[in-house]
Amino acid sequence: MDVSLTIYAVLMVAISAVYIWRQRRTYERHNQTLQDSVAAGMTEPASLHPLINDSKCLGCGACVKACPETSHHDVLGLINGKAVLIGPTDCIGHGACKTACPFDAITLVFGTARRGLDIPLLKPNFESNVPGIYLAGELGGMGLIKNALTQGQQALEAIAKAGVKRPGALDVLIIGAGPAGLAASLAAKKMGLSYQTIEQEALGGAVFQYPRGKLVMTAPVELPIIGKVQFRNTSKETLLKFWNEACHGNGLKISYQERVEAIENKDGAFHVRTTKSQHVASAVLLGIGRRGTPRKLGVPGEEMSKVVYRLIDPEQYRGKHVVVVGGGDSALEAAASIAELGDTTVALSYRGDAFQRAKQRNRQRVDQASAKGQLNVLLNSQVREIRPEEVVMKQADKEIRLRNDAVIVSAGGILPNDFLKSIGIQVETKWGTE
C-alpha cells in the first residue's frame, strides 16, 4: 500500500475514533442528566415543552443543537438514538426544537400525563371569565419575552376599547412588571389611561432573575411609545438596561416591592389589596407570570434589605458572610457558587436531614465546598431570627449565631393557582396536550 494511502487510512480511523468517543461521552452526559433529573424529582416542565414522537424520531439531533438553552443546560438529549427531554425543568418553551425537526416528530404541549397544568380560559381579547380582569404573558400559557410584550399591549388595547370607567377608580391596575406588564404600562401611558403598575420584586420579571450574562434569545418587536425594538440575541444586562431606560425615560408609574394579595369586585370596581396599600380600578391586567411568589421564612428581621429570595450574581457577595436557606437545587447552587469564590463565609441551612430534592451534581458541589472548608452545611436547622449583623438558628436543641451580611432564602415559591381561584378565574387543565 502506498504511504499516502496508509496515512490517509490512519487519519480516517483516528478521526472516526475521536468522533465515536465524543459521541459516547455526549450520550453518557445526556443519560446522567436524565438520571439526575429523575432522582431529584425534576421531571415536570414548567409550561410549554416538546413531546417527542418516538416512532417519527430518527435521532438526527437537530432539536438538541437547536435548543437555545443548550449553552447553559442540557434540556434535550439523545438516548438510545432518540431525542429525550432530559432536563424538563430547564425547558422554557422556545419551540426551536419543533422548528428544527426535519421529521415533524415534535409537538409542543402543556402539562404532562402525570401533572396537569392549569391554563386560564381567555377570550381572544385576553379577558378572563371575570369581566374586567384580563391576563397577558406567561400566566395565560404563552411564554417567551416577545409573546409577553405583544400580549401585554394587546390586552391593554382591549381594556381601552372596552372603555369601562368607574368613579374614583383607575382605568386599569397592571399587576407585574415583567415583559407583559412593561408593555402594558407603556400602552396605558400612550393611550392616556389612568393606571398604576404594581411589582413585588423588580422590573423585568423572569428576565431580572436570569443568571448573570445569560444569552437572551428574542425577536424584534414593536413597543408603544418606543417603536421598533431590534433585539435578537442579547444579554440579560443589555435588555434590562434598555427596559429600565424605557421606564424612567417615560416616567412609567410602577411601584416596586409591592405585592398584590387580594382582589375583590365591589359594585363593578376592583378593590385590590397589596402589601403596601389599597387600589381601586375599573379593570385589572394580570401579568404575573407563572413563577409565583417566593416563599418566606416568617421570622423576625426578614423584612431587612439584606434578605433576598434569589441569587442573581455570586460576585456581589465577595468577602461577605452569607447564609443560604433551602435544600433544593437553587439553594445548593447559590451556596456552592458563593462558597467557591473562596473569600466568603457561607452557611447552608436546611430543615431536612439530607438534600434529597437536589441534583447529584449540585450535591457534589456542596460536598466539595464543604470538604474544603468553604461551606458550613447545617442540616436539621431552622432560622429563628435575622438581625442586622447575625442570624440566629436552631439545630436540634442548640442555638447557633452566625455573623451575617446577607441571607438568600431559596425555599420555593407559592404558585399563582390559588390566587387565580380566589378571584374566580376559570382554568382548563392540560395533561400533555396542545
Ligand X SMILES: Cc1cc2nc3c(=O)[nH]c(=O)nc-3n(C[C@H](O)[C@H](O)[C@H](O)COP(=O)(O)OP(=O)(O)OC[C@H]3O[C@@H](n4cnc5c(N)ncnc54)[C@H](O)[C@@H]3O)c2cc1C
Closest approach, Cβ 49 to ligand SF4, in A, equals 13
Q: Which stretch binds ligand X (CB under 6 A): 23-31, 111-119, 171-179, 369-377?
A: 171-179
C-alpha cell at 389: 449583623
Q: Which stretch binds ligand X (CB under 6 A): 142-150, 264-272, 329-337, 396-404?
A: 142-150
User: Per CB under 6 A, does 106 bind ligand SF4?
Assistant: yes
Tell which one of 166, 259, 320, 384 touches ligand X (CB under 6 A): 259
Q: Which stretch binds ligand X (CB under 6 A): 170-178, 301-309, 360-368, 389-397?
A: 170-178
| Closer by beta carbon to ligand SF4, 106 or else 122 | 106
Q: How buried is residue 388: exposed, middle or buried, by Cβ count under 10 Å (0-12/13-18/19+)?
A: exposed
Number of residues that bind ligand SF4 (CB under 6 A): 14
User: Per CB under 6 A, does 175 bind ligand X?
Assistant: yes
| Closer by beta carbon to ligand SF4, 19 or else 103 | 103
Spatial separation of the C-alpha atoms in residues 355 and 400, rounded to whole Å: 21
User: Per CB under 6 A, does 327 bind ligand X?
Assistant: no
Closest approach, Cβ 432 to ligand SF4, in A, equals 16
Alpha helices in 340-430 (DSSP H): 360-371, 417-422
Q: Are 407 and 391 in contact (CB under 8 A)?
A: yes
User: Per CB under 6 A, does 135 bind ligand X?
Assistant: no
Q: Which does 176 bind (CB under 5 to 8 A by kind): ligand X, ligand SF4, none?
A: ligand X
User: Per CB under 6 A, does 101 bind ligand SF4?
Assistant: yes
Q: What is the DSSP string of 54-86?
A: TTT-----HHHHH-GGGGT---EEEETTEEEES
| Closer by beta carbon to ligand X, 23 or else 99 | 99
User: Per CB under 6 A, does 216 bind ligand X?
Assistant: yes
Q: Which stretch binds ligand X (CB under 6 A): 107-115, 157-165, 169-177, 394-402?
A: 169-177
Residue 192's Cα: distance from chain center in Å? 32
Which of positions 373-412 make contact with ligand X (CB under 6 A)?
A: none
C-alpha cell at 374: 468553604
Spatial separation of the C-alpha atoms in residues 150 and 139, rounded to whole Å: 14
Q: Are strands 413-414 and 293-294 parallel, antiparallel or unpaired?
A: antiparallel
User: Per CB under 6 A, does 207 bind ligand X?
Assistant: yes
User: Per CB under 6 A, does 180 bind ligand X?
Assistant: yes
Q: How many CB atoms lie within 10 A of CB 268?
A: 11
Q: Give buried/exposed letters for 229-240 (b at 16+ CB in 10 A, else e).
A: bebeebebeebb
Which of positions 107-126 make contact with ligand X (CB under 6 A)?
A: none
The neighbouring-strand residues paired with 172 are 195, 283
User: Per CB under 6 A, does 141 bind ligand X?
Assistant: no
Closest approach, Cβ 140 to ligand X, in A, equals 8
Q: Where are the beta strands (DSSP E) in 53-186?
A: 76-79, 82-85, 106-109, 117-120, 133-135, 170-175
User: Per CB under 6 A, does 89 bind ligand X?
Assistant: no
Helix axes 3-39, 360-371, angle to 10 degrees: 90
Closest approach, Cβ 412 to ligand X, in A, equals 15
Spatial separation of the C-alpha atoms in residues 332 and 336, rounded to whole Å: 6
- Return residues touching ligand X (CB under 6 A): 68, 92, 137-139, 143-146, 148, 175-181, 198-201, 205-207, 210, 216-218, 259-260, 287-289, 291, 293
- Return residues touching ligand SF4 (CB under 6 A): 52, 57-63, 83, 100-101, 103, 105-106
